[in-house]
Structure formats: C-alpha cells, structure tokens
Amino acid sequence: MTGAKAAAPRAAVIGAGSWGTALAIHLARAGVDTILRARRPEAAEMLRRDRENAAYLPGCPFPELLSVTADLTDALAGRSLVLFVAPAQSSREIFRSAAPLLAPGADRVIASKGIEEGSGLRLDEVMAQESPRAAGPCVILSGPSFAEEVGRGQPTAIVAASGDAEAARRVQEQVAHGALRVYRNGDPIGVALGGAFKNVMALATGIAEGIGLGLNTRAALLTRGLAEMTRLGVAAGGRAATFAGLAGIGDLVLTCTGGLSRNRSLGIEIGRGRRLAEILAERRTVAEGVATTRAALALAARHGVDLPIAAQVREVLDGGRAPAEALQDLLARPLKEEV
C-alpha cells in the first residue's frame, strides 16, 4: 500500500523588502500558493494594484499564485511554510507577534541576515525566545543571493540549515525549484553568523574602494575577513567547514565584490568622505552591516575573539577614525603567522 501524498505547501513571506519579494515571487513561480505580508496597509495596496514591487524590486512581475496582505493573522492562517524576511533589528517584534498565529507544525524559516544589536543574539536565538511554544527548531536560509537576480530567475545556490535534519530537508524540497538550488547544512550557528558577518566585511571592502585602494587590498580584506568570520563562528559553536561553503566564503565574495551589494555601496560612500547619517537618510533599503558590526564585536568580546577589521569598521562608522587612519592601524599590527 502506498502512503498518502503530502499536501502541497502554502507559504507566507513576512517582509516585503527586496529579498522577501524575490523569495515570494520565486515560490509562486514554482507553483506554491504564496502570500506576501507588507508591514503598512498602503504598501500592500500598492503591491496588489501594481502586481510588482516597484520600490524594492522593479521589473519583476508577481505570478498569479502570489497574493499580498498587511494583516499578519491573514498572512499566517493555514500556512505550512513561513519565511521571515524582516530587517534583523525588527525581527524580535515580528517573531513575537507571529508566534501565537502560526499554524501547528509550520516550518519557520529565517531568511534575514544579522545579529541583534544589544543582545548579540543570532536571529534563531531571538526566535527561540519569542516563540517558545512553537514545535521544532527553525531553519536558516542563507547564501550568496542578490534579490534582483533571484527575482529574475537567474541561477543561484543557497543553504537551508537546521539542527533538525528533517526540517532542513522539508524546506530544501519546498524552496528548491528551477534556477534556485538549495543545499542542506546541519550547522545553523555557522550559517547564521556567516550570513551576518559578511555584511561587516562588505563595509570594509567598500570603504577601501572608496578611498581609492585596489584589488590587492580587496583580496587581503576578503581573506583576513574570512579568518575573522571563521574565528567568531567556531568560538560561538559553528563548524569551520561551514565558512568554506556557500554561506561563508560564497556570500562573502558576492557581497564584497558585487555591484548590487547595499553594504559595499554604503562603504564606498563612507570611504569617499560622506557621513553615515547622511547616507542612511537618503536610502530606502537597510544596510544590515551597520548594526551587525557592533553586535558582532559584542559577541566576539563574550567569546574572547579578536576581530581587528571589524573593530576598525566600527571606529569609522562611529566617526572616531578616518578610513585612511583605520587602514594604517591594520597595517601597523604586529607581524604574525597566517594560521
């Protein structure tokens, strides 16, 4: 006797920025009944009317199976797959509001990248605090993925990571489709910290580019940034091998070199002499690396880990050091073995 066929998933994507919109478009394009939740009713109405997210992801029309709401209860009702894609520093409030509304047994996926400022907690740790009654661990979705390219259906490879192998497998099978390939990973700590810390390094490489430095400098920052990322991740309980994969060096290279990187472009503007507050005031999108830099350094202090590049990035962001001075401080560090 054959087993009953599993019911097709119904998905909710909580967060209608560029990445949330791209994931919602991808799922609907894959034949999944998907609802995208925008925070403001007027934004939801505009998305329903235009059938595209002109503000964050223009040129990527909504498939027929994608609907939109501003009502969190409506978004989560009966949804077996829930992707949380709010900015990292807003995620705690979203997790708390969503917890009593989740369908029993729903797979919870964190697709945001960052560390909570103040607490220094990964987003899966924040979710565990705010959703203590939810069944099973969550899944981290991360890897080298610009929203615009996913929205346009370009080939992309990402990672679904969880301590629960079956949860990771379910999410892998539900999200992987067409040009979006999903790998499983059993190291949610390393995947979450890799996805967060690469934004700090993108700020660093952008700042270096902004002050006129070249590819030698970028290569050095990428390589030593990977060393910092790995030290922090292993100290926090992650696996070193994770940082040699998609969620580590893969995401690091993309974000530090790609023209669509918000954190890299922010770093370039800072390197050219503009003030952080001035740049942020002009931007609609969030550059997660600003808050993550401070949060990562607080986490590193708890584990006794040295992050010299991240420390200099913080000094520059806070206005306490000029970019050229920060570079000189890094070059003046005592000579040591590479490994």
pLDDT in tens, 157-174: 999 999 999 999 999 999
CB 130 within 8 A of CB 95: yes
- Say if residue 159 is in the same domain as residue 178: yes
Residue 5 scores a pLDDT above 80: no
Domain assignment of residue 1, yes or no: no
pLDDT band at 136 (very low <50, low <70, confident <90, very high): low
CATH label of the domain that carries residue 327: 1.10.1040.10
CATH label of the domain that carries residue 24: 3.40.50.720
- Say if residue 80 is in the same domain as residue 229: no
> What are the residue numbers of the active site?
198
DSSP string covering 96-148: HHHGGGSPTTPEEEE----B-TTT--BHHHHHHHH-TTSSS--EEEESS--HH
Whole-prediction pTM? 0.94
pLDDT in tens, 19-44: 999 999 999 999 999 999 999 999 99
Our count of domains for the chain comes to: 2
- Say if residue 143 is in the same domain as residue 156: yes
Last-in-domain residue among 186, 202, 230: 186
HEC per residue, 40-56? CHHHHHHHHHHCCECCC
- Say if residue 271 is in the same domain as residue 323: yes
- Say if residue 98 is in the same domain as residue 67: yes
- Say if residue 19 is in the same domain as residue 67: yes
Domain assignment of residue 5, yes or no: no
Domain assignment of residue 123, yes or no: yes
| Segments forming the whole domain that contains residue 326 | 189-331
- Say if residue 24 is in the same domain as residue 158: yes
